[in-house]
Structure 1
Amino acid sequence: MRREEKEFGGTPGAIGLIIFSHFVPFYLALSLQYSSGGLYFPSSFDTLIQNFKETCLPTWSAFFLYTGFCLLQLIFAAILPGPEVKGLPVPTENNRQYTYKCNALASWYATLLLVAILHLTGIIRLTILADQFGSVLCVAVICSDIISVIIHFYAIQTKQTCRMTHSPIYDFFMGVWLNPRIKILGQDVDLKMLAEVRLSWLLLFLLIIPAALKQYEAFHTISWPMIFILTAQLLYINACMKGDECIPTTWDIFYEKWGWMLIYWNLAGVPFVYAFHAYYILVNSLRTHKPVEDTSTIFIIILFIVLFLAYYIWDSSLSQKIRFRMQEQGTYISRNAFPQVPWNVIKNPKYLKTECGSSLLVDGYFKYCRKPQYTADICMAMCWALSCYQWAGILPYFYPSFFIGMIVHRYTRDMARCAAKYGEDWKIYCTKVPYAFFPGLI
């Protein structure tokens, strides 16, 4: 069997990314607390430690909030209704096709209903997540690290490993277990799919709602930048939930192993880093005592137009590609979850047959460029940052900068993998579709 090639710079790169990934969310949390989301420069190491203790030290309430949320999603994944779809054949497991219960939409609605009841009755006010943002973050980081260690050694002990390099730190970073599953109430729950769709994006939404609530409590109104962030995140998260039957055929599920990289960023990195914009708007509106200071109506309208256009291209292009793949595999199902955007399925699509058996789509958006969904995703990321335009800070632009670097690296990884898989057919495909992100430019 061909040895797994190392990515991200091998072991040194893995170590660097683990350190950097731990640094980023805590730095952002401290910047919100002590610099109103601006660059944070503690006067001394002792000050840094004191600030960390005041803001990010874990508490029992933070522990129960975070672990309770995760356990609730595990139970929902096991018991709530949803269609079952088969994933792609797994070459390392004799082309076995795993079955995935796609009930993220039911979990999404059930969670929103439950947290609304808890908040309105005063049993658990959602604003506690804003008040203990740093503490919940610390609990999430600790839990993600512990789970990464458990998953790694359990997979090795039970011989459920694949594509290992036998470089311990690198294998821990990338993962060794492709399809981690546990039984909950007698039902198989896929941990990787659960973490990617629900523990990351659903928690993100539960973190940004409190920011809006805190702003409303302070001013009895919600600013347009905050409304924009809520709208943008709601569209994105709802799309992940309503189309979860498409996720089993994606690269993260089919190819990526469930190691520290995916575990950490799904359980801690994504929800707490991506929530920064909402809290940046909150703390600066509180600092200036004006939630709508210098808000340009024209600029906000332009942002909404760009957001809706980018969202439409992102949603429909992803749907075209994944549902084409599902039709090819015979696993396609039709769903009516809201909203189903137009042109999300191509009738009689044109495609390039390859010698390895699978086909390459050259129709719809994909006759113009190879990754239209990446371009739309980058546009949405920039919109999130630009919603913070009222205050001249640079940290809101960390996310789009980080995202662009990540998505370009992901693209190069995907291109290398496809070139190895398709051979000469890939060269033909690249001739037919020469542009990567934007037709006529790049």
Structure 2
Amino acid sequence: MKQAAKTEREFGGTLGAVGIPVSLPLTVLLLIGVSRSPSASLFQWPPALPSADQLWHPMAPLLLLGWIGLHAALYSLPLGKMSEGLELKNKTRLKYPINGFHAMCISVGLVLLLLKLGAPLGRLFELLLPLAVCTIVLSFLLSIFLYAHSFSVSSDALAPGGNTGNHLYDFFIGRELNPRIQNFDLKYFCELRPGLIGWAVINLGLLMKEVELRGSPSLAMILVNGFQLLYVGDALWNEEAVLSTMDIVHDGFGFMLVFGDLVWVPFTYSLQASFLVVHPQALSVFGAAVIVALNGIGYYIFRSSNSQKNQFRRDPNHPNVSKLKTIPTATGKKLLVSGWWGFVRHPNYLGDLLMALAWSLPCGFSHLLPYFYVTYFTVLLIHREARDERQCKLKYGASWDSYCKQVPYRIFPYIY
């Protein structure tokens, strides 16, 4: 019972489990509507809500199901290698196909082929709201299935915080840790496949819409597409690293992750590109160079720190990490206190936020909407960092206290 009470506090407990599934879908639809309104004002009253006829198109469910089906097929292809996840409570390790980058390349190749054949990819701009509505419905249906499925598995298969007995909360947070249909891992599939790659394809469709309207893509649109495609490609190239993240190792697969993976990522992370279709921005070569440099610095910090952590987790004796200073813990594992992880406790978050800012800057400073992502992401990472802190404190005890004394700053050096 003590564990259940503690878990209830995550994301506002029962109140959050009721409010978030209602508010987030409305937020997605509102943001898409605002991005294409002339004023693009987040404070417009009444708000720029889409009309009913804008929310449905018969092509939307066909495109969505075709996209999901394509990636389910690509996931199942014998491409790439198989990798083992971390050890589970029953001392077993699940196997995962590491072929997400192959799936992205095939997907982009198919999209480019369709473009060459004359497919109107720019229509994605008009279909964005209906696609979002269909994906929201799919996320609820999948979450209901996952919750029902969780009652057919053993207690060892349940997530540490998803079996509180509160049906609303468990549905939201995720009751089962690694739901599978035979060898098809639903959480792992959704984490990096249809939503993440879909984000890059939506961006490309919005770029093509700008080409239709103005004859060529703007420098701002090219930067936004390029930065975000790099981010997606990097995540899939380093797909194996996701197997040690909190999402895979600790969190159950419920509405929170389903909606985040399938709806929130592709339809809110593409806001900058959507904004630029209706609100073109002039960007100087010098301004572009500064933004590219900022994104490069952020990417370097993000990738270097994540690679260092993943290398240390997999082989602490590897020459790249063997000379780094560490603190022993009662679990037998060691905590890094030098390198990137001796700079701040979450250097990967710092790099992530610098990139997020670089994605927004090409949209200028006349509207707040393009900065929604970096604002939201700051709040998200600070919240996630607090969750990380609690987990590490419980796991490592006094060793974590010692680490925090040696590395006092959490994300921003000398600030936070």
- Shorter-normalised TM-score: what interval? over 0.9
> How far apart are the structure 2 equivalents of 1:168 and 1:70?
28
Q: 1:275 to 1:90 in 2, by over 3 A?
A: same
Number of the residue aligned with 1:429:
403
Among 148, 152, 158, the residue aligned to 1:157: 152
Number of the residue aligned with 1:372:
347
Q: Structure 1 residue 281 and structure 2 residue 276: aligned? A: yes
Query: How far is 1:2 from its partner?
Result: 6.1
Q: What pairs with 1:14-25 in structure 2 (closer than 5 Å)?
A: 14-25=17-28
Number of the residue aligned with 1:268:
263
Among 70, 84, 94, the residue aligned to 1:72: 70
Q: Structure 1 residue 27 and structure 2 residue 22: aligned? A: no
Amino acid at match of 1:161: L
Amino acid at match of 1:168: H
Amino acid at match of 2:378: I
Q: What do residues 354-413 of structure 1 show as CA deviations (whole Å, max 9, x unaligned)?
A: 1112221223211111101111111111222222116x1111121111111111010001
Q: What do residues 256-311 of structure 1 show as CA deviations (whole Å, max 9, x unaligned)?
A: 110100001101111000111001011113xxxxxx54x23322221111011111
Worse-superposed segment, 300-309 or 349-358: 349-358
Q: Is the 8 A contact 1:31 1:40 kept in 2?
A: no
Number of the residue aligned with 2:184:
189
Among 221, 243, 248, the residue aligned to 1:226: 221
> How far apart are the structure 2 equivalents of 1:364 and 1:205?
32
> How far apart are the structure 2 equivalents of 1:11 and 1:88?
30
Number of the residue aligned with 1:60:
58
Q: Is the 8 A contact 1:27 1:40 kept in 2?
A: no
Q: Structure 1 residue 106 and structure 2 residue 102: aligned? A: yes
Number of the residue aligned with 1:339:
none
Q: Is the 8 A contact 1:82 1:103 kept in 2?
A: yes
Q: Is the 8 A contact 2:36 2:275 kept in 1?
A: no
Q: Is the 8 A contact 2:299 2:351 kept in 1?
A: yes
Q: 1:113 to 1:347 in 2, by over 3 A?
A: farther
Worse-superposed segment, 35-44 or 75-84: 35-44
Amino acid at match of 2:410: A
Query: How far is 1:200 from its partner?
Result: 2.0
Q: 1:16 to 1:116 in 2, by over 3 A?
A: same
> How far apart are the structure 2 equivalents of 1:441 and 1:109?
40
> How far apart are the structure 2 equivalents of 1:211 and 1:362?
44
Q: 1:193 to 1:36 in 2, by over 3 A?
A: farther
Q: Is the 8 A contact 1:82 1:102 kept in 2?
A: yes
Q: Structure 1 residue 132 and structure 2 residue 127: aligned? A: yes
Among 37, 57, 79, the residue aligned to 1:81: 79
Q: What do residues 152-172 of structure 1 show as CA deviations (whole Å, max 9, x unaligned)?
A: 111123444343111111111
Q: Is the partner of 1:355 in helix, strand or coil?
A: coil
For normalisation by structure 1, the TM-score amounts to 0.87
- Gaps of at least 5 residues in structure 1 are 286-291, 333-342
Query: How far is 1:347 from its partner?
Result: 4.7
Among 13, 16, 20, the residue aligned to 1:13: 16
Q: What do residues 88-126 of structure 1 show as CA deviations (whole Å, max 9, x unaligned)?
A: 1123xx23211111111111111111111122113x432
> How far apart are the structure 1 equivalents of 2:221 and 2:232?
16
Q: What pairs with 1:241-256 in structure 2 (closer than 5 Å)?
A: 241-256=236-251
Amino acid at match of 2:208: L
Query: How far is 1:71 from its partner?
Result: 1.1
Amino acid at match of 2:264: G
Query: How far is 1:423 from its partner?
Result: 0.8
> How far apart are the structure 2 equivalents of 1:418 and 1:315?
22
Equivalent pairs, count: 409
Q: Is the 8 A contact 2:345 2:410 kept in 1?
A: yes
Q: What pairs with 1:318-357 in structure 2 (closer than 5 Å)?
A: 318-328=306-316, 345-357=320-332
> How far apart are the structure 2 equivalents of 1:360 and 1:252?
20
> How far apart are the structure 1 equivalents of 2:159 and 2:344?
33
- Gaps of at least 5 residues in structure 2 are none
Query: How far is 1:65 from its partner?
Result: 0.7
Q: Is the partner of 1:101 in helix, strand or coil?
A: strand
For normalisation by structure 2, the TM-score amounts to 0.93
Q: Is the partner of 2:42 in helix, strand or coil?
A: coil
Q: Is the 8 A contact 1:246 1:322 kept in 2?
A: yes
Q: 1:133 to 1:427 in 2, by over 3 A?
A: same
RMSD: 2.1
Amino acid at match of 1:412: A
Query: How far is 1:54 from its partner?
Result: 2.6
> How far apart are the structure 2 equivalents of 1:182 and 1:409?
32
Among 294, 305, 312, the residue aligned to 2:300: 312
Q: What's the % identity of the aligned pairs? A: 29
Q: What do residues 409-438 of structure 1 show as CA deviations (whole Å, max 9, x unaligned)?
A: 100011011101111111111122222113
Q: 1:30 to 1:157 in 2, by over 3 A?
A: same
> How far apart are the structure 1 equivalents of 2:38 and 2:204?
22
Q: Structure 1 residue 39 and structure 2 residue 42: aligned? A: yes
Query: How far is 1:33 from its partner?
Result: 3.5
Amino acid at match of 2:52: K
Q: Is the partner of 1:34 in helix, strand or coil?
A: coil
Number of the residue aligned with 2:413:
439
